[in-house]
Amino acid sequence: MERRQGWLFPLMVVAAGTVTVFGCLGIAAILGYLPPPRAMEGGGSHVVLTPAYYEALERSSARLLAQMDLVVVVEPEAPKAARSPARRTPERGR
């Protein structure tokens, strides 16, 4: 049997490596191990997180918590026990 030389296996190895690297970067970003993006010198397109951004975030979080305090949790009443015809007690005196 002749061995085929194809691109499928090398591309699969590269794809698996790429998924692993970007997955690790995503987990590191979520857990806070990566610093927030900074503006590049020369007018880059990255977002600059300023103290005003964090203050606005804190205000909106406080507003959300205040709204959550206004919510009243109402638990549904348990249905009253209804006697089913199958559970009748035998009549006495017969």
pLDDT tens readout for residues 55-66: 888 888 888 877
Compute the distance between CA of residue 5 and CA of residue 55 in angstroms, rounded to an integer: 59
Smallest CA-to-CA distance from 39 within 51, 29, 52, 49 is with: 49
pLDDT of residue 44: 57
Compute the distance between CA of residue 83 and CA of residue 37 in angstroms, rounded to an integer: 67
Provide the whole-model pTM: 0.37
Question: What is the percent of the chain where pLDDT is above 70?
Answer: 63
Q: At residue 37, does pLDDT exceed 70?
A: no
